């Protein structure tokens, strides 16, 4: 893949918990410099976070030490630190950066922008042809500059909109992939409807990545949400995307540490439900009664 001339770095990177912990290590500054060198190197090779040369040769500690102009021992210390903090993973001896595509999406962005550039060029040419056919030749010449200016303004607006769409698409893919990889006990997301897309975009604007991951982990760790309840009901992506449910899961109200709970006898066994779980049971009971069906409590 062709290299790119930039990588994305958040302005609050030095407030990140991992970076703060690394800064307090004996060689913290050197390790952080190596991290940025590693990010820049991946930007150059642009290989989806996998550090290999020509898809054949994996980068070794010695190779990186030479490229980064650092001692091999320092590079080894840095890589071990990154691996411990989950910033890199070694897959069959190959260094990788997890979720590189979520944070960078360099190849995807470049392709989309190139497509948009070509599309807008063709669009402007077609618009200009229509204007010239509609107006007389003199009017076409007189108004050409004004028309081009208007088209250029439209171009800038559409490019801004397209950029927002690209970022949104990248976040959407990360959200779905993270859900499917963590919530393995729940139904996988196969199709993203317009309703789901809007809900995901809203959550991505309101909550950071750590909160979203916490919600998925709390869901996967909740017996109730995985089907261990009176009706055998399981949560799914649509349940999680409901604003009130998302907050409840984030606050772990479906976990085993809920303060208010009640005991029920289910198939000869005493089952303890939390307050939030009881609300879910009550909602289901009312729904069944409305349909004229019997419930077991």
How do residues 63-82 score in pLDDT, each as one tens digit? 999 999 999 999 999 999 99
Query: 235 and 251: one domain?
Result: yes
Q: What are phi and psi of 13, to 5 degrees?
A: -60, -35
Q: Is residue 7 part of a domain?
A: no
CA distances to 36, 75, 88, 119, 176 from 99, rounded to whole Å, are: 16, 22, 10, 30, 12
* Same domain for 124 and 95: no
Higher model confidence: residue 237 or residue 279? 237
The answer on pLDDT for 231 being more than 80 is no
Instruction: Tell which residue, 124, 119, 37, 121, has the closest CA to residue 82.
Output: 37
Structure tokens at 240: 């999680």
**Structural domain includes residue 186:** no
| Res 269: pLDDT | 42
Q: Model confidence over 268-280: pLDDT tens digits?
A: 444 455 666 666 6
What pLDDT score was predicted for residue 195?
Answer: 92
Residues of the chain with pLDDT > 70, as a percent, come to 61
> What 8-state DSSP symbol labels residue 60?
P
DSSP labels for 196-255? HHHHHHHHHHHS-HHHHHHHHHHHHT-TTTTT-STT-----HHHHHSHHHHHHHHTTTTS
CATH number at residue 84: 1.10.10.10
Distance, in Å, from the CA atom of 167 to the CA atom of 217, rounded to the nearest integer, reads: 25
Q: Which residue has the tokens 């996998």?
A: 50
In this structure, the answer to whether residues 225 and 260 fall within a common structural domain is yes
pLDDT, residue 106, reads 47
pLDDT tens digit sequence for 103-122 = 555 444 555 556 556 656 66
Looking at the 3D structure of the chain, how many domains does it have? Answer: 3
User: Domain check: are 97 and 114 in the same one?
Assistant: no
- The CA distance from 226 to 238, in Å, is 14
When pLDDT is cut at 50, 70 and 90, the band that residue 164 belongs to is low
Residue of 199, 206, 287 lying closest to 236 (CA atoms): 199
Residues 6+ apart with CB under 8 A from 50: 94, 95, 96
Q: What is the pLDDT of residue 295?
A: 43
Regarding pTM above 0.85, the answer is no
pLDDT band at 11 (very low <50, low <70, confident <90, very high): confident
225 lies in which domain range? 194-290
* Arithmetic mean of pLDDT, 182-198: 91
Pair 118, 83 in one domain:
no
Residues 88 and 23 in one domain: yes
C-beta of residue 222 within 8 angstroms of C-beta of residue 255: yes
**Average pLDDT, rounded, for the chain:** 75
Q: Is residue 205 part of a domain?
A: yes
pLDDT value, residue 199: 93
């Amino acid at each position: 893949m062709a290299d790119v001339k930039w990588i994305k770095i958040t302005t609050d990177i030095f407030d990140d918990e991992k970076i703060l912990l690394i800064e307090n290590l004996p060689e913290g500054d050197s390790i952080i410099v190596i991290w940025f060198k590693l990010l820049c190197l991946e930007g150059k090779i642009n290989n989806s976070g996998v550090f290999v040369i020509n898809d054949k040769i994996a980068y070794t500690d010695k190779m990186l030490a030479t490229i980064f102009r650092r001692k091999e021992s320092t590079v080894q210390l840095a890589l071990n630190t990154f691996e411990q903090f989950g910033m890199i993973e070694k897959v069959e001896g190959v260094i990788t950066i997890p979720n590189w595509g979520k944070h960078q999406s360099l190849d995807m962005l470049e392709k989309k922008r190139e497509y948009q550039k070509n599309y807008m060029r063709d669009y402007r040419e077609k618009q200009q042809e229509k204007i010239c056919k509609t107006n007389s030749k003199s009017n076409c010449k007189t108004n050409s500059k004004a028309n081009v200016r208007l088209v250029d303004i439209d171009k800038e607006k559409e490019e801004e909109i397209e950029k927002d769409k690209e970022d949104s698409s990248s976040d959407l893919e990360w959200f779905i992939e993270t859900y499917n990889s963590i919530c393995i006990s729940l139904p996988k997301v196969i199709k993203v409807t317009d309703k789901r897309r809007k809900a995901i975009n809203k959550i991505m604007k309101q909550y950071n990545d750590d909160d979203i991951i916490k919600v998925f982990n709390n869901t996967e760790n909740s017996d109730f949400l995985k089907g261990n309840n009176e009706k055998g009901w399981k949560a799914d992506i649509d349940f999680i995307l409901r604003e009130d449910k998302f907050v409840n899961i984030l606050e772990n109200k479906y976990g085993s540490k809920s303060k208010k709970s009640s005991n029920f006898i289910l198939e000869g066994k005493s089952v303890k439900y939390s307050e939030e779980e009881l609300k879910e049971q009550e909602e289901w009971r009312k729904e069944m009664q409305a349909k004229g069906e019997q419930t077991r409590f």
